[in-house]
Structure 1
C-alpha cells in the first residue's frame, strides 16, 4: 500500500490571524445578569434505568 503526500499551504501572518483582545480585556463583568442554570436533559437515575431494563425484558 502506497501513501500519498499532500502539500498544505503555509499560513501567512496577517493582522486577521491575530485576534483583537481589546474587547475582551475591557469587558465589564458587573453588567452581566445572574442566571439560574437548569439541566435541560438530565440523565436518568439508576432506579429508572433498572425499571426500563425490566420492562424491556418481559
Structure 2
C-alpha cells in the first residue's frame, strides 16, 4: 500500500487535505474486502482526530 497526502493552507483559516492511495498485492486486497473496512475507518478516525484538535 502507498499513501500520498497533500495538505494545503487555504484562506479564512481553512485547510484542504487531499489523499490518494493504492492497494496492490494479496494482503492489501484482503484488507479491502474486510467489513467494516479498516482502511476507510482508519482514515476517518484520523480526520475526526484532526477536526477535534482544531476545534478545541
Structure with more helix by fraction: 2
- Between Structure 1 and Structure 2, whose CA radius of gyration is higher? 1
TM-score normalised by the chain length of structure 1: 0.28
- Which gives a bigger RCO, structure 1 or 2 (Cα 8 Å, sep 6+)? 2
Structure with a larger share of its residues in strand: 2
